Amino acid sequence: MSVSELPCWIYRSPRKDEMYLYTAKEDDFSCVPEALLKRFGTPIQVMEIALTEQRKLAREDVVVVIENLRSQGFHLQMPPKMDVDLYHGD
């Protein structure tokens, strides 16, 4: 792994669809506030990746994720906001 790469583990929430928790250390949730972990539920690991500033993430700004991992040890990805118009119909 190069010096500019940051290891990252991604976990999904069993309670909230499309909510993900990124951590700087595998299975280490000690830096995550207890109230957040209670709402998130028991994290389920979905992948391990190496982040770089050049890497593209589907819904997150990789620079923000890296900054959060370095400063607080975790990053929370919230579910996308749904467009209310999608629910109008018969």
The residue extents of the domains of the chain are: 6-80
Q: Where residue 51 falls among pLDDT bands split at 50, 70, 90?
A: very high
Q: How far is CA 21 from the centre of its chain?
A: 3
pLDDT tens for 3-42 read 579 999 999 999 999 999 999 999 999 999 999 999 999 9
The pLDDT value recorded for residue 62 is: 96
Residue the block writes with tokens 């209310």: 84
Is-above-0.75 flag for pTM? yes
Q: Where are the alpha helices (DSSP H) in 47-90?
A: 62-72
1: confidence class by pLDDT, cuts 50, 70, 90: very low
**Which position has the token pair 């792994």?**
1
User: What span, in angstroms and rounded, lies between the C-alpha atoms of 53 and 82?
Assistant: 28
Q: Residue written as tokens 């928790």?
A: 21
Q: Side by side, which strands form the sheet with 20-23? A: 44-51, 6-12, 20-23, 74-77
> What pLDDT digit, counting tens, does each position of 66-90 carry?
999 999 999 999 988 755 555 555 4
Pick the CATH number of 6-80 from 3.30.930.10, 3.10.510.20, 3.40.50.720, 1.20.1050.10: 3.10.510.20
